[in-house]
Amino acid sequence: MIPELKTQDYLIPLSRSYIPPRLPFREKELSELEFFYLTGIKLESFPTLLLIGPKSSGKTTLVLKLIEDLRIKLGLRSVVVDCSIENSEYKVVSKIINILGITSRKIKGSSTEELLFFLVKYFNYDKLKTLIALDNIEYLIVDNKFLLSALLKLDESFKEATKNVALLFTANEKIFENLRQSIKEFQRVPVLKLNKYTKEQVYNILKYRISLLTLHPKFTKRSLEHIAELSTNYEDINLAFSLLSSIILEANRIRKEKIIKSSVDEVFSKMIISYNQESSLLSDEEKLIFNIISELKKDRSFSQIKSSLLWKAYREVCEKKRKKLISYTKFWNILVQMERKGIIKRSVKSFGRFGRSTLIFVPNEPSRA
Ligand SMILES: Nc1ncnc2c1ncn2[C@@H]1O[C@H](COP(=O)(O)OP(=O)(O)O)[C@@H](O)[C@H]1O
Ligand SMILES: [Mg+2]
């Protein structure tokens, strides 16, 4: 398990719930969203939009940032429900009612349909402009499809109630086609698509977030950049933040006057072992290979292993497990990826007339004293 961080105060800008002052690479999208909702809400036209993108593309953060901006500009009230937590239609509507602070005896024992009707009646007399954001609706659509279509056509039957309401949905892009086919009301909802951040962008985001920390001056600029570099290879930015925080916490403990690049490397390679086994930082293939390396290491008490030996061992494991064998090129690419993640190090060594071979090094298990 990823060690639960005792989030020291100074690490808060790297926590999941923190909303950064700026969203680099998403400024255009943010102003598009702002314009869309500002206009729609002023025209009382029940603005509705679907924000899609892969994991870690900034969907949730954009929603939170938009809400903050609209609250300042319009005094907009907002309700955000994370459908990966409130994962049934009933729970979603109950949550909305709950957040709005509506209390009534009628709520208890009502069906989802009744609750929604209840909500509509509430909007009829409460004229406060409200944005309802449902985050991660991919967790809902496997359910039945009542709620989303009902919400989308709310303005057809309840014109008056929806004058002050706006809707915003976010979903993983993977379900987009499916969503538009299964809920036909979505076909006329405008879509804003976020692209996956490039590695370069992730690096810059990490660097930016690190710059928000007040760190001890013993961290050099170069060492901080290096910390960002190391975490750039993880697709999930929140995981990268958690990794960053651990590295920083650990590096802080080093009794050195200056924390330089090599100290960071040292901490990182110790760190990565405890992150490895269960965490989603590694793909299944990477975990398998990592385990084979560990076994080989135990066997021979070497800290370095020839890549040809590893390939042989890998093939044997696949045979034993009746697993489909991947090509050598693919295997090689996985090793490259593992090196980028700091799990292994490779170096080419010449064996004289026996040719050259790549040796694989693995950091040693941290002593758990
Ligand atoms: N442009 C950005 N600038 C700064 N931090 C960002 C940016 N985009 C995403 N993040 C951070 O990356 C993490 C993942 O973003 P998130 O909004 O949760 O993505 P999604 O909801 O698409 O999975 C969050 O901690 C968020 O604060
Ligand atoms: Mg999200």
Determine the average pLDDT of the residues in 19-26.
96
Q: Which CATH number fits domain 197-281: 1.10.3470, 1.20.1280, 1.10.8, 1.10.10?
A: 1.10.8
| Ligand 1, atom 10, residue with closest C-alpha | 58
| Ligand 1, atom 2, residue with closest C-alpha | 23
Q: Which two tokens stand for residue 174?
A: 């993977």
The whole-number pLDDT of residue 302 equals: 67
Q: Where are the chain's structural domains?
A: 26-193, 197-281, 284-369
Q: Is the dihedral of CA 199, 204, 209, 211 positive or negative?
A: positive
What span, in angstroms and rounded, lies between the C-alpha atoms of 175 and 181? 10
| Ligand 1, atom 17, residue with closest C-alpha | 58
pLDDT band for 361, please (50, 70, 90 cuts). Answer: confident
- Ligand nearest to the Cα of 59, by number: 1
Ligand 1 touching residue 231 (CB < 6 A) = no
Query: What is the pTM (predicted TM-score) of this model?
Result: 0.78
Do the domains 284-369 and 26-193 match in fold?
no
The whole-number pLDDT of residue 67 equals: 97
| Ligand 1, atom 9, residue with closest C-alpha | 58
- Ligand nearest to the Cα of 237, by number: 1
- Ligand nearest to the Cα of 24, by number: 1
The tens digit of pLDDT for each residue in 223-236 reads 888 888 888 877 78
Query: Ligand 2 centroid vs 213 CA: distance in angstroms?
Result: 23
Q: Quote the mean pLDDT of the chain.
A: 86
Determine the average pLDDT of the residues in 281-301.
82
Ligand 1 touching residue 25 (CB < 6 A) = yes
The total of other beta-carbon atoms located within 10 Å of residue 300's CB is 11
- Ligand nearest to the Cα of 241, by number: 1
Ligand 1 touching residue 55 (CB < 6 A) = yes
Q: Is the pLDDT assigned to residue 368 strictly greater than 70?
A: no
Query: Ligand 2 centroid vs 52 CA: distance in angstroms?
Result: 10
Ligand 1 touching residue 24 (CB < 6 A) = yes
Q: Is the pLDDT assigned to residue 192 strictly greater than 90?
A: yes
The whole-number pLDDT of residue 127 equals: 86
Q: Which among 237, 244, 245 is the best mutation to test ligand 1's pocket, defined by most ligand atoms within 8 Å of the CB?
A: 237
Determine the average pLDDT of the residues in 309-314.
93
Determine the average pLDDT of the residues in 99-110.
83
Ligand 1 touching residue 162 (CB < 6 A) = no
Determine the average pLDDT of the residues in 58-87.
95
Ligand 1 touching residue 13 (CB < 6 A) = no
Q: Is the pLDDT assigned to residue 280 strictly greater than 70?
A: no
Q: Which among 61, 205, 239, 241 is the best mutation to test ligand 1's pocket, defined by most ligand atoms within 8 Å of the CB?
A: 61
Q: Spell out the CATH class of 284-369.
A: mainly alpha
The tens digit of pLDDT for each residue in 45-67 reads 999 999 999 999 999 999 999 99
Long-range contacts of 342-351 (CB under 8 A, 24+ apart): 342/230, 342/233, 342/265, 342/268, 342/269, 342/272, 343/272, 343/276, 343/282, 343/286, 343/290, 344/290, 344/293, 346/307
Determine the average pLDDT of the residues in 190-198.
96
Q: Is the pLDDT assigned to residue 132 strictly greater than 90?
A: yes
When mean pLDDT is compared over 36-50, 113-127, 273-287, 291-305, the highest value belongs to 36-50
Q: Is the pLDDT assigned to residue 336 strictly greater than 60?
A: yes
What span, in angstroms and rounded, lies between the C-alpha atoms of 61 and 64? 5
Q: Which CATH number fits domain 26-193: 2.30.33.40, 3.30.1450.10, 3.40.47.10, 3.40.50.300?
A: 3.40.50.300
- Ligand nearest to the Cα of 55, by number: 1
Which of 87-91, 301-305, 345-349 is predicted least confidently? 301-305
pLDDT band for 367, please (50, 70, 90 cuts). Answer: very low
Determine the average pLDDT of the residues in 148-159.
93
pLDDT band for 287, please (50, 70, 90 cuts). Answer: confident
What span, in angstroms and rounded, lies between the C-alpha atoms of 27 and 25? 6
Determine the average pLDDT of the residues in 193-219.
91
Ligand 1 touching residue 20 (CB < 6 A) = yes
The tens digit of pLDDT for each residue in 260-279 reads 888 888 777 777 666 665 56
Q: Which two tokens stand for residue 276?
A: 């490895």
Which of 29-38, 59-68, 91-100, 212-221 is predicted least confidently? 212-221
pLDDT band for 366, please (50, 70, 90 cuts). Answer: very low
Q: Is the dihedral of CA 347, 351, 354, 355 positive or negative?
A: positive
Query: Ligand 2 centroid vs 206 CA: distance in angstroms?
Result: 17
The whole-number pLDDT of residue 40 equals: 96
Query: Ligand 1 centroid vs 349 CA: distance in angstroms?
Result: 41
Determine the average pLDDT of the residues in 14-28.
93
Query: Ligand 2 centroid vs 41 CA: distance in angstroms?
Result: 24
Query: Ligand 1 centroid vs 242 CA: distance in angstroms?
Result: 13
